[in-house]
Amino acid sequence: MTKVGGSSPGPMVSWFDEAEKRLEEFKGIHEDWDSYGGLPITPRSIESARAYLTRLAADTPRALVIPTSQGGVTLEWITDRDPVDPLRWVREPENLSIEVTPEGAIEVDEEDVADLSKDSPVYRAAVLARRLNQESTT
């Protein structure tokens, strides 16, 4: 698999700069960073995650950007929490996990996708990830 190639990005998500800063921090992660033998985050996974983020629709809600112990990056969406009381759901939650492998491939958790509303920005984020993964394997 190859890393995500690109077309020119559209309007970026409002939280892109924060995610970009987080990805830059991953470059400083060293072996055994998690005390369980975690591998350094690969430059290819960081670049693929960055390329994916630049192609998200502007209305995509904020994702958590998390390093993986295998040397990749995970993007996690957990939506529909009450902003005043984060322990209370205001609607049915939409969860999505997308992993960028150390090789730069993008993998979508299809079980998460099956539970998403087809008109939600999180669903569109999953569709984009699928498309980019298909482009990178052909």
Place of tokens 């993007």: 75
Bridge partners of 73? Answer: 67, 100
User: How is residue 23 written in tokens?
Assistant: 């990805």
pLDDT mean for each 10 residues of the chain (138 residues):
44 89 96 95 97 94 94 89 56 81 94 87 93 79
pTM across the whole model: 0.82
Residue 80: what pLDDT? 64
Q: What is the pLDDT of residue 95?
A: 85
Secondary structure class of 42 (helix, strand, coil): coil
Residue 28: the pLDDT is: 95
- Concatenating the DSSP letter of every residue in 44-84 gives HHHHHHHHHHHTS-TTPPP-EEEE-TTS-EEEEEE--B-SS
Alpha-carbon span 3 to 8, nearest angstrom: 16
All structural domains of the chain with their residue ranges = 16-137
Neighbours of 40 (CB within 10 A): 16
| Pairwise CA distance, residues 130 & 55, whole Å | 13
Q: How many CB atoms lie within 10 A of CB 123?
A: 17
pLDDT, position 68: 97
Q: What are phi and psi of 66, to 5 degrees?
A: -130, 135
Q: What is residue 31's predicted lDDT score, i.e. its pLDDT?
A: 95
Task: Give pLDDT, residue 78.
Answer: 81
pLDDT at 76: 93
